[in-house]
Structure 1
């Protein structure tokens, strides 16, 4: 009986030890898995294996503007009032007080280079905003003894009802004085409060299409994206192609740096700036206030500043 008891005791001890080993292994198995997962997570995959090495970027982006939610109809009226005041001052004093002394002397020297030349009035070409502030663009219209009218164009930055600085833009000649903002035309929906969301839409469309810098081969690749966004593909595919081709890995190296409003044509134009490590690119997003939609996305700056008709 004693021998039998000793035999059972030995088996009980063996089974107990086996059970302890199994339990110990089971408890450590989770830790082994955790350690394995942690080890895998610590492995760093080079970013260059995911994107084109040429596309690895510092997070560069241009300085952008805030898009006003205010009533642009009031802003238009303010622009018209400023030009009216400028004309009244000029007719009363015969001085171009909206220019600096140096700018006024330089302009009058050009005007009076020949006899029978004079500036008769200023007309409003557009109004808008850029990274320097709100502005109006005016044409100083020079008449002489010919049928041509010479347009000296200046961008005037203002604060409230005062002109704070002026920048000469260009000179154009035509048979008619230019005027692209009209008092008797309703502004309508300016598109300003919609622009940021629309830019986000085509950014998302480019990312989802996989047509970024490494895969953007030709403008035609962007026809369908243009159509999906409601843009004219013939006028927009090249702009979207260049934006994608020059984008960084996050398609985040661009932003809205200005907008400009005119009545002839009845457009609001938004200007986008894109940065790379070595270059700067500009684009124009056009909103038609007749159809209340965005219609074109084009390379470069398109503006009534240089329009000549």
Structure 2
């Protein structure tokens, strides 16, 4: 009988424990629901997915360059000294040693298609940096028995005072040898150290205007933004429109991929690349060293490489 009573007592205790657990759960069920709702409410959904679900805002930007590049006056003097050295080497050897063998043969073949043609010297068009490194752009100036001078243009990448590679760019004709970097002209403020801050202002202005992605419908909408940034609206509204139209919600899908400096015109130009839907878009931000301010934001890559004076 005692064993039987112990068995009942055991099952009674277990039953009481189950009843307590069930009552405890029932009494706290409301609190559990509230906590679950609060937890879900704290989950944040990226704004870009609400604005444009197809635009996954991964902040993917193309490879860019650093704009912490030191004293640009020294960079200019280094470029001038390098061209002077290349000219001396050419005049001493009659060889264009800064070109590869194939490049030199291709150039001389063009030069010697007719008699009385020869390369007389090299002139400096600009200097800068891109994702491949520091470079100068030079013109190999061809003379003949006419007044016409042909400019064969090359981008030369260099390290210290040695050329590491060369890239042929284009050919131009004129009556004067092109030279856009001048030894006797002070560089002044280059704008390189202030470009990143200006681009941040530009991004903020576009975001605050709400003229991004599908909201950007007309270049004229960017006239006031251009004016507020100190840019020429007639030259900058189309560039800003394209940048905004192809941007993500944070206007962060672009990078500075290079800069280029010349004295004629007295500009520092910054080149931007934007990635959007597997397409690339390019822009030029221009800094005037005469007025010490950014003046234009334009579509495409604008350079003295293409200038013909």
Change (3 A) 1:202 1:115: same
The aligned counterpart of 2:209 is 209
Q: Deviations over 1:223-249 (max 9, x none)?
A: 111111111111100000000001123
Q: Does the aligned pair in 1 maintain the 2:48–2:57 contact within 8 Å?
A: no
The aligned counterpart of 1:8 is none
The aligned counterpart of 1:83 is 83
State the secondary structure of the residue aligned to 2:235: helix
Q: Does the aligned pair in 2 maintain the 1:154–1:169 contact within 8 Å?
A: yes
Q: Does the aligned pair in 2 maintain the 1:267–1:286 contact within 8 Å?
A: yes
Q: For residue 60 of structure 1, report the CA deviation from its aligned partner.
A: 2.0
Q: Deviations over 1:53-78 (max 9, x none)?
A: 34334432100001134110010000
Q: Distance in 2 between matches of 1:49 and 1:296?
A: 32
The aligned counterpart of 1:94 is 94
Tell me the TM-score normalized by structure 2: 0.87
State the secondary structure of the residue aligned to 2:215: coil
The aligned counterpart of 2:167 is 167
Q: Distance in 2 between matches of 1:191 and 1:47?
A: 34
The aligned counterpart of 2:187 is 187
Q: Distance in 1 between matches of 2:35 and 2:75?
A: 62
Q: Deviations over 1:39-94 (max 9, x none)?
A: 4446x869787212343344321000011341100100000000000100111110
The aligned counterpart of 2:177 is 177
Q: For residue 198 of structure 1, report the CA deviation from its aligned partner.
A: 0.6
Alignment: residue pair count: 285
Q: For residue 38 of structure 1, report the CA deviation from its aligned partner.
A: 1.9
Tell me the TM-score normalized by structure 1: 0.87
Q: Distance in 2 between matches of 1:63 and 1:301?
A: 17
Matches within 5 A, 1:192-271: 192-271=192-271
Q: Does the aligned pair in 1 maintain the 2:269–2:287 contact within 8 Å?
A: yes
Q: Deviations over 1:94-121 (max 9, x none)?
A: 0001111110011001100110000000
Unaligned runs of 5+ in 2: 1-25
Q: Distance in 2 between matches of 1:88 and 1:59?
A: 48
State the secondary structure of the residue aligned to 1:53: coil
Change (3 A) 1:259 1:50: same
Could you say what the CA RMSD is over the residues aligned between the two structures, in angstroms?
2.1
Q: Distance in 2 between matches of 1:128 and 1:308?
A: 19
Q: Does the aligned pair in 2 maintain the 1:284–1:301 contact within 8 Å?
A: yes
Matches within 5 A, 1:1-309: 33-41=34-42, 50-309=50-309
The aligned counterpart of 2:5 is none
